[in-house]
Structure formats: C-alpha cells, structure tokens
Structure 1
Amino acid sequence: MTTLYRCRTALSEVRDQFRAITPDRASWSAEVWPERVGLVVYRKGSKRIAEPMRWGIPSTILNGGRNRRAVSTSIRFNRVKVEKLARFDNPWRCLIVMDSFAYPSGPPGARTRTWFGLDSRPVFAWTGVWAHIGEEKRYCGLLAEANLVVAGPSMPVILDPDDYKLWLGGRFDRATPLANRPYSEERMYTEALGEPWNAVVEEA
C-alpha cells in the first residue's frame, strides 16, 4: 500500500498536462503523507478543476467498515462493498497529481525509500475518488496488483492521458475496468537514494 508520494510541480504544468482550470494560487505538500494536502483534478460539469484536497477518506464512509486505519488513503476497487459503489460514479472520480511514489525497502528499523516513476512523463495521474467530508474535500487512491518493477503486492493505478476523459466522465461499466489495471513495468523507473523511510519533511 502506498503511503508516500511526491507532487513537485507547478500550477501552470498541471493546467497544461491535465487541461484543467487552476486557481491563481494554491498550496499543497511536495511530499505527501496521509492526512497531508495533495493536488487533485476532478470534473465539474464539462470542465476539469485542479484543487488541493486532503489525502484520506474516513474508512466507514468509503468502504462501510472499520479497519485499523481511521482513514483510507488507498483501496482496491474489487474489494469495495456493492452498496458503496456509488462512491465511484463519475462525479466522484478524480486524478491525483504526482511525480513519483515510494515503498519502504530494507529491514525493520533501517528502512529506506525506493521511488518509482514514469520514464516518459515527469508528472502523471494516479486514479482516485474524492468526497465532501464536512467542510473540506478529501481523496483516496486506487490500487492494482503490482507489476514486476514495484515491490509489494499492490501499486497505484496509473493512467495515461488518453484515459483521463474516460475515468473522469465515462460510464461506470466502461470506466471502472481502469481501476484494476497495473501499469506496464517497461515504462517505469526505480530509484533508491538511501533516504530513511521516516524522514518526514515538515510542512511550511
């Protein structure tokens, strides 16, 4: 399960890459952990809106049950309860903007970060859903089976630009097959820099 990713980009790049309307100014975490703020693109009418949201939807709202985490930052679509599938209708689908994601490597107590990204695109989209929780908006990413590059049982569901329209606005039966699809390992890179896993960068 992914609990750390990076979003080091500018609003102008998001506007160009995602064809989204962006605010004049916005603040989000360059290094995103659960409960921090990331940058998300969602559909409003016929337009795409880019907006900061908080990472993690309360587990009881997203999947109807309690687990060891108060919020779900990621979920496998094929494990969602039938009565909660309305959460995946197109008004609530989103694209999570990222440039890389990390998994821990090494023995307990000495874990380091191994980063994964795409060779051809410095900024890309992780498939997700979002929700209104009180007065704020929150989001959660979808997971697929890991490919041969990513260590672990799962990985973020990454979309190519040609799939953005289908995910954000397509019919449920056409869009949701994207939610279970691992990305091609031939198009990814891996980078191990020896960074301690828990070296959390404080937000400004």
Structure 2
Amino acid sequence: MTSLYRCRTALSELREHFNALTPARASWSAEVWPERSGLVVYRKSGNRIAEPMRWGIPRTILNGVRNGRPVSTTMWFQRRNPTQSARFENPWRCLIVLDSFACPSGSPGARTRTWFGLDDRPIFAWAGVWAQVEDGKVFCGMLAPSNNVVFRPSMPVILDPDDYDLWLGGRLDRAAPLANRPYGEGRMYREELGEPWGGDTR
C-alpha cells in the first residue's frame, strides 16, 4: 500500500499538463502523507478543476461503518462492495497529481525510502475518487498489482493523458479497466536515496 508520495510542481505546470482550471493561489504538501493536502483534478460542469484536498476519505463514507482505521487513503477497485460502488460514479472520480511515490525498503527500525516515477513525465496522474466532507474535500487512490519495478504487492493506478477524460467522465463500465492494471514497467524508474522512511510525517 502506498502511504507517501511527492507533489513538487507549480500551478502553471499543472494547468498545462492537465488543462485544468486552478485557483490563483493554493497550498499543498510537497511530500504527502495520509491526512496531508495534495493536488487533485476533478470534473465539474464540463471543466477540469484542480485544487488541494486532504488525503484520506472517512471509512464511514466509503463503507457506511466504523472500524479501526478512521480513513482510507487507498483501495482496490475490484474489491469494492455495493456501498463503495456509488463512489465511482464519474462526478466522484479524480486524478491525483504527483511526481513520484515511495515504498519502504530495509528492516524495521532502519527502513529507507525507495522512490518510483515516470521517465517521460515530470508529473503524472494517479486514479482516485474524492468526497465532500464538512470541513472540505478529501480523496483516496486506486491500487493495482505491482509490475516488476515496484517490489511491493500493490502500486498506484497510473494513468496516461489519453486516459484522463475516460476516468473523469466516462461510463463506469468503460473506465473500470483503467483501475485494474499495473503500469508499464519499461517507462518507470526506481531510485534509492537512503532517506529514512519516517522523516517529517507531521
């Protein structure tokens, strides 16, 4: 499960890549942990809108029940239950903006970050869903089986620009295959910098 990613970009770069409307100013975390703010693109009135949202949808919204984890930051599309299926109607699908994501390496107590990204794009999109809550907007990302570059059982569902319209506005039966596939390993890089895994999680 992915629990750390980076979004080091500018609103101008986001507007150009996603052809999205953006606020004049916005604040988000360059290093995004659960319940921090990340940049998200969603569809409204035929336009792509980009704005910061908080990472993690309350489980009461996704499942209708409470359990040990108060929010879900990731989920498997193919494991959704009937209650969760309503979250996948196209008004609630979104694109999570990132430049790389991390997985922990090494033994407990000495874990470091291994980063993964795309060779051909400085920023890219992770398929997700979003929700409106009392204090703002929140989001969660889709998981796919990993390819041979990512050494964990799962990885984010990465979308190419040609997929953006289908994920944001297409019928669910046509968009669903996008949420079930690992990304092509030949287009990804892996980078080990020796950074401690925890770092600044506040």
TM bucket normalised to smaller: over 0.9
Kept in 2: contact 1:63–1:80 (CA 8 A): no
Q: 2:28 aligns to what SS in structure 1?
A: coil
Aligned to 2:124: 124
TM-score between the two structures when normalised by the length of structure 2: 0.97
1:12-161 correspondence to structure 2 within 5 Å:
12-161=12-161
Kept in 2: contact 1:98–1:123 (CA 8 A): yes
Deviation per CA, 1:145-196: give whole Å up to 9, x if none: 0111101110000000000000000011101111111101110000000000
Q: 1:49 aligns to what SS in structure 2?
A: strand
Identical aligned residues as a percent: 72
Q: 2:85 aligns to what SS in structure 1?
A: helix
Displacement of 1:67: 4.3
TM-score between the two structures when normalised by the length of structure 1: 0.96
Q: Which runs of 4+ in 1 moved over 4 A?
A: none
Displacement of 1:135: 3.0
Question: AA paired with 2:86?
Answer: A
Q: 1:167 aligns to what SS in structure 2?
A: helix
Kept in 2: contact 1:96–1:128 (CA 8 A): yes
**Deviates most, 188-197 or 79-88:** 79-88
Question: AA paired with 1:193?
Answer: L
Q: Which runs of 5+ in 2 are unaligned?
A: none
**Cα distance in 2 between the residues matched to 1:151 and 1:55:** 23
**Deviates most, 172-181 or 3-12:** 172-181
Question: Are residues 1:163 and 2:163 paired?
Answer: yes
**Cα distance in 2 between the residues matched to 1:113 and 1:68:** 26
Kept in 1: contact 2:7–2:97 (CA 8 A): yes
**Cα distance in 2 between the residues matched to 1:201 and 1:148:** 28
**Cα distance in 1 between the residues matched to 2:186 and 2:98:** 19
Kept in 2: contact 1:64–1:81 (CA 8 A): no
Displacement of 1:65: 4.2
Number of aligned pairs?
A: 202
**Cα distance in 1 between the residues matched to 2:193 and 2:73:** 25
Q: Which runs of 5+ in 1 are unaligned?
A: none
Kept in 2: contact 1:93–1:168 (CA 8 A): yes
Kept in 1: contact 2:33–2:201 (CA 8 A): no
Deviation per CA, 1:85-143: give whole Å up to 9, x if none: 01000000000000000000000000000000000001000000000011310000000
Displacement of 1:69: 1.8
